[in-house]
Amino acid sequence: LGFKAGVKDYRLTYYTPEYVTLDTDILAAFRVTPQPGVPPEEAGAAVAAESSTGTWTTVWTDGLTSLDRYKGRCYHIESVAGEENQYIAYVAYPLDLFEEGSVTNMFTSIVGNVFGFKA
């Protein structure tokens, strides 16, 4: 009972290694350097979240919008050869997340929120 303050791990929702990409997904790869104590899966999931639905405010109408339809998914993480604590996080975004015909919207959504992001 009651409310527990705190932040949920992004990887609970946005790290999906079992996900099989679709032909309609927009695929991106990000080089990430996790903060000390942060697993690479959490850092990759944070990128997927913050560049898709992770910044959306939770309201009572959330039942009307399917998070699974719009969220970015970090589906693979790999180490960067020869670099300590450096990873490539592969993220799939559903096409429905973006405004139709707007490359600017897609670029700012994917890139705008995560450069300089600390996870």
Domain membership flag for residue 27: yes
Domain range holding 21? 11-53+64-112
Q: Which residues pair with 90 in a beta bridge?
A: 29, 76
Q: Is 87 exposed, middle or buried (0-12, 13-18, 19+ CB in 10 A)?
A: buried
Q: Are 30 and 113 in contact (CB under 8 A)?
A: no
* Residue 40 to residue 100: CA distance in whole angstroms: 32
Q: The domain that contains 16 carries what CATH number?
A: 3.30.70.150
> How does pLDDT run along the chain (119 residues), one tens digit per residue?
454 545 568 888 889 999 999 999 989 999 999 999 999 999 999 988 887 776 655 555 555 556 677 788 999 999 999 999 999 999 999 887 767 777 777 677 767 666 655 55
Other beta carbons within 10 Å of 56: 13
pTM of the model: 0.76
**DSSP 8-state class, residue 35:** P
pLDDT reported for residue 71 = 85
How many domains would you assign to the chain? 1
